Amino acid sequence: MKLITVVIPCYNEEKYILKLLKKIIKIKKKHKLNLEIIVVDDGSTDNSKREIKKIKTVKLISQKNQGKGFAVQNGIKKAKGFYILIQDADLEYNPKDYIKMISKLNDKKKAVYGSRYINKNNSIKFKLSKNQEILPFLFNFFLMIIFAILYRKKITDLLTGYKIYEKKFFKKVRINSKGFEADHEISAKLIKNNYSISEVPITYSPRTREEGKKINFFDALKAINTIFYYRFFS
């Protein structure tokens, strides 16, 4: 298996980051995955870095608070893997789903997204998860429609926290966005550079605002603007 670098952007996740890292390492050992793990701390003001340092095999990169997109790009620059797997620092997504995503990889120009809205037969199943807020759920459906119209590609879960890309894509394509909207810039540029995007079903355990959910209404506006901008002006 070619080396896969797991890039984890982290901001104030001291309650979750250590548990997540232990889950990833457990999956790595159980399935003998060829993984490199990089955590990019985006200027956390809590004890996230202290928790990360408890796992000696994990590479920690520290930066000033500049946003998820910037943190991801920073991690990719230091990655040694042929593939990049983006992992959120909380426990909303289960690393057990790595196996399904990795099984879809090949040597062609390909990216793999984990979707919360398809089933094992790859048919759409738009269903609200327990504790999931209704507005983000509806917004994801809206984004799917807009993206399909503009880019002629149906992606059921553009907001997913699980994506795998080839690192060489980032060597030839510059990503300008610094926040959550960077995900949509990447999706747009993948399509424009003739990459295929496959989706596999994944599990999802959403957390509440009280538990640290960070994405908000302004991120939604940035997402729409990004999808339109990179379709018509880039």
pLDDT at 212: 52
* Residue 66 near residue 43, CB atoms below 8 Å: yes
Count Cα neighbours of 125 within 13 Å in the Cβ-side half-sphere. Answer: 13
Band (218; pLDDT cuts 50, 70, 90): confident
pLDDT at 213: 55
pLDDT at 51: 98
Say if residue 22's pLDDT is above 70: yes
Q: Which residues contact 2 (CB under 8 A, 6 or more apart)?
A: 34, 81, 82, 83
pLDDT digits (tens, 9 = 90+) for 188-203: 999 999 999 999 999 9
pLDDT at 166: 95
Joined together, the tokens standing for residue 181 give: 């909207």
Q: Which amino acid is at 182?
A: A
Beta strands in 64-135 (DSSP E): 83-86, 110-115
Q: Which residues contact 165 (CB under 8 A, 6 or more apart)?
A: 83, 84, 86, 111, 186, 190
Angle formed by the axes of helices 182-192 and 134-151, nearest 10°:
20
Say if residue 131's pLDDT is above 90: no
Q: Convert 193-220 to b/e letters by CB count within 10 Å (16 or more is b).
A: eebebbbbbbebebbeeeeeeeeeeebb
**In Å, how far are 11, 29, 35, 188, 230 from 3, measured between CA atoms?**
26, 14, 6, 25, 30
Among 194, 2, 6, 7, which Cα is nearest to 110's? 194
**Structural domains of the chain in order of their starting residue, each with its CATH number:** 4-232 (3.90.550.10)
* Residue 30 near residue 61, CB atoms below 8 Å: no
Three-class SS state of 150: helix
pLDDT at 210: 61
